[in-house]
Amino acid sequence: MAHISTEHEVLAAVFQVRPGRPPVTSRKPALHVLLWERALDPEKGRWALPGGHLGPDEDLTSSVRRQLAEKVDLRELAHLEQLAVFSDPERVPGPRTIASTFLGLVPSPATPELPPDTRWHPVSELPAMAFDHGPMVEHAHNRLVAKLSYTNIGFALAPSEFALSTLRDIYSAALGHPVDATNLQRVLERRRVITRTGTTARSGRSGGRPAALYRFTDSRYRVTDEFAALRPPG
């Protein structure tokens, strides 16, 4: 089928580590992606990445920020970067539409207010997805996993201050496999990614020694070890 014109859209895979779904006993933190439910055909009732058509006077980054603010009221991102282009001529019905995808990250303590048609979904349990948005989420997650190994991008998922157990849970959720807190501490301190704050967390109900608090050394994205990989145990 020949296409007379070509349109361009921007779509964002926005991730956050959030508590898992009930039952309460298994509410371990899990990586979630922000999706909105389509109200109209085509693909009515399916879930899609937030975004929309590129405006005639916009660059890609300005457009995706506008789309996130207007459509899902998400205005504050700790990290946003362009990822990939999806250009299959038949990826959506109608005029040929090329999609530029972005990776966005929200820190775990943030609680942005969302419209009724927008929800966080566990990446491991995606609902019925519209068009090719499922592979887009998978691609964005794979890029996040890779970047957690060789950059300091964890700063965009973590609180401003955290115990090592909290950081371990965030990395485990994002990577999709268990992470040892001691090994993670050793690796990130050696690369000067995290720094002790000199303070401790409040003691819990069970008492015990208060946990030392850490922070990320930088709140801007940087490569720390371009050949590194955080691999599953065993």
Q: What is the pLDDT tens value at each position of the chain, 234 positions in all?
A: 455 689 999 999 999 999 877 654 457 899 999 999 999 999 999 999 999 999 999 999 999 999 999 988 888 899 999 999 999 999 999 999 999 999 999 999 888 889 999 999 999 999 999 999 999 999 999 999 999 999 999 999 999 999 999 999 999 999 999 999 999 999 999 999 999 999 998 765 555 678 999 999 999 999 998 777 777 776
Query: What backbone torsions phi and psi does residue 48 show, to the nearest 5 degrees?
Result: -135, 160
N- to C-terminal Cα separation, the chain: 50
Tell me: do 42 and 84 sit in the same domain: yes
| C-alpha closest to that of 82 among 99, 95, 106, 57 | 99
Residues 182 and 205 in one domain: yes
| Burial class (CB within 10 angstroms; exposed 0-12, middle 13-18, buried 19+) of 54 | buried
State whether 83 and 180 are in the same domain.
no
162 and 133 in a common domain: no
Is the preceding peptide bond at 42 cis, omega within 30 degrees of 0? yes
- Domain residues for the domain of 110 are 6-148
Q: Are residues 195 and 137 in the same domain?
A: no
Tokens of 15: 């991730």
Three-state secondary structure string covering 130-186:
CCCHHHHHHHHHHHHHHHHHHECHHHHCCCCCEEHHHHHHHHHHHHCCCCCHHHHHH
Domain count across the chain: 2
Task: Select from 170, 141, 157 the least CA-distant residue to 49.
Answer: 141
Q: What is the pTM of this model?
A: 0.93
Could you tell me the maximum CA-CA distance found in the chain, to the nearest angstrom? 69
Co-location of 187 and 86 in the same domain = no
